[in-house]
Amino acid sequence: MFAPLIDVLGGRRLCVITGAGISTDSGIPDYRGPDSPPRNPMTYQQFTGDPEFRRHYWARNHLGWRHMDAARPNSGHRALAGLERAGVASAVVTQNVDLLHTKAGSRRVIDLHGTYAQVRCLTCNALISRATLADRLERANPGFAETVAAAQGVEIAPDADAVVTSTEHFRMVDCEACGGMLKPDIVYFGESVPKPRVAAAYDVVDEAEALLVAGSSLTVMSGLRFVRRAAKRGIPIAIVNRGATRGDEFATLTVHAGCSEALTALLDASSALPA
């Protein structure tokens, strides 16, 4: 099944773009997969402009981030780390915030949208760990996580979020340094990816001899721009995703399959893909 993928990428140094579909086998749902329920992620404007949206977000995140922190890499993540060690994959540019590529052992990872593990003050730009904030939120909301989990159960949503219906009594906390608004160090919808991060990702696309997209629908420009860059360069583009993507028109090959299986097959054939 994966022989065409190996044929297209064989003997070429790869840049890999990943999306939420690579992490579903680790128990983290995606936004737009064929079996995914409709989801409406919070926008930057909602988060910063409405205290009720913000409080609801932090209550959900207080539960969800723990599950993301506990998630472990699957065979797809491990295969990409193996391809890097073999000199086949030069870098991973991920749209995910789950840190699973780093946990799997990939060394050159560009976290395009940031990660769940840090929180930034929007006033003084101070960074703290999500674990530190968890301690503060727990002190401000003793027993909240246990009570909600027992009463409602916990359904995990993407981006370190959880589905929680009752949050009206949840108390937020502000930056200890300046009293400013705290926000996960994640690029929200309606917010731009930092320019240095985009430039670094363009650099690895420009270094590559082929581009592999794994588990992304490429619906937003954040990922699609790199496919367009590779197409402009004229290098082969292979897309592995369970459904159609916005980048299919640029692809040399599309494979409708799970990332774990496809990337494992690619790793197994890595002796045919010299660095």
Numbered residues of the known binding site:
19-39, 95-98, 121, 124, 175, 178, 215-217, 241-243, 259
Q: Pairing relation of β-strands 210-214 and 237-240?
A: parallel
Tokens of 197: 């991060």
DSSP string, 28-39: ---SSSTTPPP-
Amino acid at 97: V
List beta partners, residue 16: 92, 212
- Closest by Cα among 260, 18, 58 to 160: 58
CB-neighbour burial class of residue 263 (10 A; exposed 0-12, middle 13-18, buried 19+) = buried
List beta partners, residue 255: 240
Amino acid at 53: F
Does the annotation count 113 as an active-site position? Answer: yes
Please tell me which residue in 77, 113, 169, 256 is annotated as part of the active site: 113
DSSP string, 43-100: BHHHHHH-HHHHHHHHHHHHHHHHHHHH----HHHHHHHHHHHTTSEEEEEE---S-H
The gap between the terminal CA atoms of the chain, to the nearest Å, is 24
Tokens of 99: 């840190």
Specify whether the backbone of 172 is left (phi greater than 0), alpha (psi in -120 to 50) or beta.
Answer: beta
- Which residues are annotated as part of the binding site for Zn(2+)? 121, 124, 175, 178
Catalytic residue numbers, as ranges: 113
